[in-house]
């Protein structure tokens, strides 16, 4: 796991070396030479120097701390890494560096990421497949290009329309109302009280099952074909849906 806040996710009383060594020891790596070698190698992988291993977190910048968090996540050679908003707490100038580092490590180490993010720009840049959730349920998933070019759920449309895009001036696909209480969701489709496409069936039924079409695109919406067609038309005209 790579956590969201690099200022809160590292133990301030542990050196970087201790932070990276502990997972190895817990998982049965005891040879000092192997531990030292893997710590040094991993620090190089994330763009830090092995001689920085004896420093404490407060001696590093936010971007460097997140690199330490990434090194900790990778020290046991996992195949899947969960990234929970890994750049949201960082300065804009540092975000691109961390995103590029994650992509480079994915290719170098053969990793798969589960990326949790509210930043659709980061999702678009990093993802192969995208799943959109609303009120705890997946409402749309598919190939990233299909999701961003032909979003077929109104909530996905609203999210994509909110991406800052100075080159396009199409009206945003905004939503109305407030987020419902997750403990007491509305009847039918949970998004229907805020949806400009909602019909009577949307307020009665929760939506069709999330079954993928031939292209792998799956949508939980009664009017998904119509919405996807409008999105495709907007994309062809060079506008956000």
pLDDT tens digits, 123-181: 988 999 999 999 989 999 999 998 988 888 999 988 888 877 644 444 446 677 778 88
pLDDT tens digits, 211-230: 777 678 899 998 888 887 77
Among 9-13, 101-105, 206-210, which stretch is predicted with the lowest mean pLDDT? 206-210
Q: What pLDDT, on the 0 to 100 scale, is given for residue 126? A: 92
User: Do the Cβ atoms of 170 and 200 come closer than 8 Å?
Assistant: no
Radius of gyration for the chain, computed over Cα atoms and rounded to the nearest angstrom: 22
pLDDT tens digits, 66-110: 999 999 999 999 999 999 999 998 988 899 999 999 999 999 999
User: If pLDDT is split at 50, 70 and 90, which confidence band does 231 have?
Assistant: low
d(CA 151, CA 224): 9
- Closest CA relative to residue 116, chosen from 140, 155, 74, 88: 88
Q: What pLDDT, on the 0 to 100 scale, is given for residue 169? A: 43
Q: Global pTM?
A: 0.84
d(CA 77, CA 74): 5
- What are the residue ranges of helices labelled H in 75-223? 92-109, 120-126, 144-149, 154-161, 200-204
């Amino acid at each position: 796991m790579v956590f969201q806040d690099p200022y809160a996710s590292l133990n301030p009383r542990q050196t970087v070396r201790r932070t990276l060594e502990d997972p190895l020891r817990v998982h049965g790596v005891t040879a000092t030479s192997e531990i030292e070698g893997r710590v040094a190698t991993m620090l190089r992988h994330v763009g830090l120097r092995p001689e920085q291993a004896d420093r404490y977190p407060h001696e590093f910048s936010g971007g460097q701390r997140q690199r330490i968090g990434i090194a900790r996540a990778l020290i046991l050679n996992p195949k899947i890494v969960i990234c929970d908003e890994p750049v949201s707490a960082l300065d804009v100038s540092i975000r691109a560096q961390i995103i590029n580092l994650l992509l480079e490590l994915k290719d170098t180490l053969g990793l798969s990421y589960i990326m949790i993010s509210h930043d659709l720009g980061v999702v678009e840049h990093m993802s192969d497949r995208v799943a959109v959730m609303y009120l705890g349920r997946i409402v749309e998933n598919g190939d990233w290009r299909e999701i961003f070019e032909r979003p077929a759920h109104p909530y996905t449309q609203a999210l994509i329309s909110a991406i800052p895009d100075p080159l396009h001036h199409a009206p945003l696909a905004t939503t109305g109302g407030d987020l419902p209480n997750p403990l007491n969701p509305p009847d039918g489709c949970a998004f229907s009280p805020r949806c400009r496409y909602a019909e009577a069936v949307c307020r009665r039924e929760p939506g069709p099952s999330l079954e993928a079409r031939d292209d792998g695109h799956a949508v939980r919406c009664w009017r998904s074909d119509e919405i996807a067609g409008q999105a495709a038309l907007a994309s062809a005209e060079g506008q956000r849906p």
